[in-house]
Amino acid sequence: MLGQGTGPRVLLKYLREAMAEPLGPQERLDRIVQQIAAAMGAQVCSVYVRRADDVLELFGTYGLKAEAVHLSQLRVGQGLVGTIAAAGRPLNLAEAEKHPAFAYLPETGEELYKSFLGVPMKRAGRALGVLVVQTTETKAYEEEDVEALETAAMVLSDLVASGDLKGLSQQGTELDQSGTVSLSGAKLAPGIGIGQVVLHEPRVVVEHLFGDDEETEMSRLAIAVQSVRASVDEMISRNFNRTDGADGDDHMEVLESYRMFANDRGWVRRIEAAISQGLTAEAATEKVSQENRSRLMRSSDPYLRERLTDLDDLSRRLMKQLMGDSATTGNEGESFVVVARTMGPAELLDYDNAKLRGLIIEEATVSSHVVIVARALGIAVVGQVSGFVARAENGDRVIVDGDDGVIHLRPPEDVNESYLERVKFRAKREARFDALRDKPAVTRDGVDIELLLNAGLTVDLAQLEHSGAAGIGLFRTELHFMIASRLPRVEEQTQFYKSVLDAAGGKPVTFRTLDIGGDKVLPYLRTVTEDNPALGWRAIRLAIDRPGLMRMQLRALLQASVGRQLKIKLPMVTMVTEIDNVRATLDKEIAAQKKFGHELPSEILLGSMIEVPTLMWQLDELMQRVDFVSVGTNDLFQFMAASDRSSSYLANRFNALSRPFLRALREIVRACERHNTPLQLCGELAGDTLSALALFGVGYRSISMPPTSIGPIKEMVRSMNMGVVTDTVNAAIDESIGGQTMTEVLRDLADHQGIPL
């Protein structure tokens, strides 16, 4: 319990008095740690502040040796203090020395102390330092103590963020970071954006932490909450028709989910409880936001982590209302890039999209709500760049390269000029590809090639017409399930698939049945924890064991495709008997539709993906059971090479353009030719010009790829002579030419034939 019967409200009173006294920065800090130690009944209270070089420097202490201040240091991740800064979570230890991360600093004299409670001092989601209390006796602090210390840490983080402690650090070190920074992240949406940084979470210091009148603060909160809810309603109404019909469904589903959280009463009650402890409405909002983040960040559930983003988003909106601060929309007349730790989809729409060039977001994946909306708006996005928000400042020059997943903050002039040239080149290149949009993909010697599009959400379908693709060769149906908060009903699935077919405008669409499991988790569907999920209970394996789920999807696909061709392919097929199982289920659904007088598709084609190597020894049996086959090169290669494609250690060790793998792909072509079975291919190989050249050489004539690859591949197709490519590639596969690798052979072929890569 807190020392001397002190509660959080009394501790806030002590801190308020210390903040109001006319003291210098070091004296104020020393007074604060003394007050905290007294209130917590501790013999030691220490403050460690994070420097620009990621060193945690002891800035103030009560109880440890005074000469250790500004001399004792720990790197982020080192010792108990460094562990707290790295993880962003408290540590509550009855016996600190027994923790594996414990690091003894002899100059502090801390060997006398047993218990340890440390909490991060956070601002914009980043630990700016660590606040610690210690006692000589062995004890574990209670939840009330942790909460009180977190409140004190919030006060101290404001001191750091406001710059009051600048100049106290060791000579030659800084608390801020202002140099050039280049980082690599995840490629979430293509494009290049150049402009000034606009921090989505600007470093705003809450100037008034302590509330004088609880009733007044409660009233301020109620008015602000009502205003936020009204603004959310208005924003959703305003954006109902903001994007065209091709991406409106997912766009609005995401926003409606956001509105639900804005009306959550439990969130508001927690803020009211913090106000009753003596905080202002804005300080209480910040405190609850930090608590939500600490709690939900521990969850591995992707659905809960997406909810965390929505709650963060709403907290920022509420803070702006309480502090009279309108949303930042970028500098007048300047192009800008939004930089955020997390971000809800609604707030992206608050920005002026005419000037918005890119989005850098620390915590996001390709299926995150904000990324879905950003892609609909054509904005370049790079994600998974931990710590970037803390390095950037409003107005900094930044380059976001969504093509390569690279970010350059405060770039030197030569890098800036290089990217400006790339933007100009990209514009010319896009104009060249756009001119090919309506022209056929036919080689110089008259061979037709079918260039298809990969898609997974209605937001992708706008690219079908823009790219000039012949159709959709891979529609990933699981993405629609992954962004939903519950299992979509048959009627919802039917409407979704119908909208996909409508948007395709008569062009063929191949639907892949649910490929869930592994790294694709549905939060509302119980799965299993596996040591190697990529090789586990996923895709068709899960669907066969959950026949109700498979029947729902097949029924929806049948109903959506009335009077049109329905083309379905099955992922992760290992044995041909699995196709027999699905065929029987499909026949039952067809019979049920007929029984109840429902119309059927004009044609129903069932195909199998070849992703599992065992199918390579069942090719003839496979061709007898399916209407077409589709090669999935991503999984097929990683399984054949026993090489996890997400492993950074193996990323460049094994090459899919190797003779053994190309021979395997050629065997599939020959089996399809023997049985006159239509053949497609999808995967990363299809979207790369050099790899596509090899695929054409071994006999593939229908490939599916990302929309940005259609133009370059079509340009290459129209410049090549298929006869020459086929002869050269097959000769090189059968025997080494002068010791060259296949990559070298292909590049020489392109150079000699004038084929653009």
Residue 174 has pLDDT above 50, yes or no: yes
pLDDT in tens, 217-235: 888 888 888 887 877 777 6
**Could you tell me the pLDDT band of residue 327, with boundaries at 50, 70 and 90?**
very low
pLDDT in tens, 499-521: 999 999 999 999 999 987 665 66
- Hey, which of 53-57, 614-618, 635-639 has the most confident mean pLDDT? 614-618
Residue carrying the six token digits 């508001």: 268
The helices-and-strands tally (H runs, E runs) of the chain is: 26, 22
Whole-angstrom distance, CA of residue 754 vs CA of residue 757 = 9
pLDDT in tens, 618-642: 999 999 999 999 999 988 998 998 8
DSSP string, 631-685: EEHHHHHHHHTT--TT-TTTTTTS-SSSHHHHHHHHHHHHHHHHHT--EEEESGG
- According to the model, what pLDDT value does residue 341 have? 82
pLDDT in tens, 727-756: 999 999 988 666 889 999 999 999 999 999
pLDDT in tens, 99-137: 988 988 889 988 889 999 999 988 656 678 999 999 999
Share of the chain above pLDDT 90, in %: 41
- According to the model, what pLDDT value does residue 679 have? 98
CB 691 within 8 A of CB 640: no
CA triple 449-453-458, angle to 5 deg: 155
- According to the model, what pLDDT value does residue 48 have? 95
- According to the model, what pLDDT value does residue 747 have? 95
- According to the model, what pLDDT value does residue 329 have? 47
- According to the model, what pLDDT value does residue 527 have? 65
Residue 335 has pLDDT above 50, yes or no: yes
**Rounded-to-5 percentages of helix, strand, coil across the chain:** 50, 15, 35
Whole-angstrom distance, CA of residue 358 vs CA of residue 335 = 9
Q: What Å distances lie between residue 318 and 150, 195, 219, 308, 327, CA to CA?
A: 21, 28, 14, 15, 11
- According to the model, what pLDDT value does residue 366 have? 65
Lowest mean pLDDT among 5-19, 255-269, 625-639: 255-269
CB atoms within 10 A of CB 226: 11
Whole-angstrom distance, CA of residue 147 vs CA of residue 726 = 70
Structural domains for the chain: 3-161 (3.30.450.40), 182-416 (1.10.274.10), 441-753 (3.20.20.60)
Residue 14 has pLDDT above 80, yes or no: no
Lowest mean pLDDT among 132-146, 315-329, 337-351: 315-329
The residue-averaged pLDDT of 320-346 equals 70
- According to the model, what pLDDT value does residue 597 have? 93
Residue 424 has pLDDT above 70, yes or no: yes
The residue-averaged pLDDT of 74-96 equals 90
Lowest mean pLDDT among 304-318, 439-453, 466-480, 689-703: 304-318
pLDDT in tens, 578-605: 999 999 999 999 999 999 999 999 999 9
Residue 244 has pLDDT above 60, yes or no: no
- According to the model, what pLDDT value does residue 645 have? 61
SS3 503: helix
φ and ψ at 200, to 5 degrees?
-70, -30
Per the prediction, the chain carries an average pLDDT of 83
- According to the model, what pLDDT value does residue 493 have? 94
Instruction: Give the residue with greater pLDDT, 1 vs 258.
Output: 258
Q: What Å distances lie between residue 423 and 291, 418, 420, 428, 667, CA to CA?
A: 42, 9, 5, 9, 42
pLDDT in tens, 656-689: 899 999 999 999 999 999 999 999 999 888 988 9
Residue 323 has pLDDT above 50, yes or no: yes
Instruction: Give the residue with greater pLDDT, 190 vs 716.
Output: 716
The residue-averaged pLDDT of 197-201 equals 83
**Could you tell me the pLDDT band of residue 247, with boundaries at 50, 70 and 90?**
very low
Helix axes 281-296, 143-161, angle to 10 degrees: 110
Share of the chain above pLDDT 70, in %: 81
**Could you tell me the pLDDT band of residue 248, with boundaries at 50, 70 and 90?**
very low
Torsion, CA 154, CA 155, CA 160, CA 163, rounded to 10: 140
pTM: 0.59
Residue 606 has pLDDT above 60, yes or no: yes
Residue 3 has pLDDT above 80, yes or no: no
DSSP state of 457: S
Instruction: Give the residue with greater pLDDT, 302 vs 452.
Output: 452
pLDDT in tens, 281-296: 888 888 887 776 666 5
Helix axes 281-296, 302-323, angle to 10 degrees: 170
State which H helix or E strand residue 230 sits in.
helix 214-238
pLDDT in tens, 524-553: 666 667 777 778 888 899 889 889 999 999
pLDDT in tens, 455-491: 887 767 878 888 899 999 999 898 778 766 678 899 9
pLDDT in tens, 340-393: 887 776 677 778 877 899 999 987 776 566 776 677 577 899 988 877 876 787
Instruction: Give the residue with greater pLDDT, 328 vs 335.
Output: 335
**Of 9, 86, 80, 8, which is closest to residue 46 (Cα–Cα)?**
80
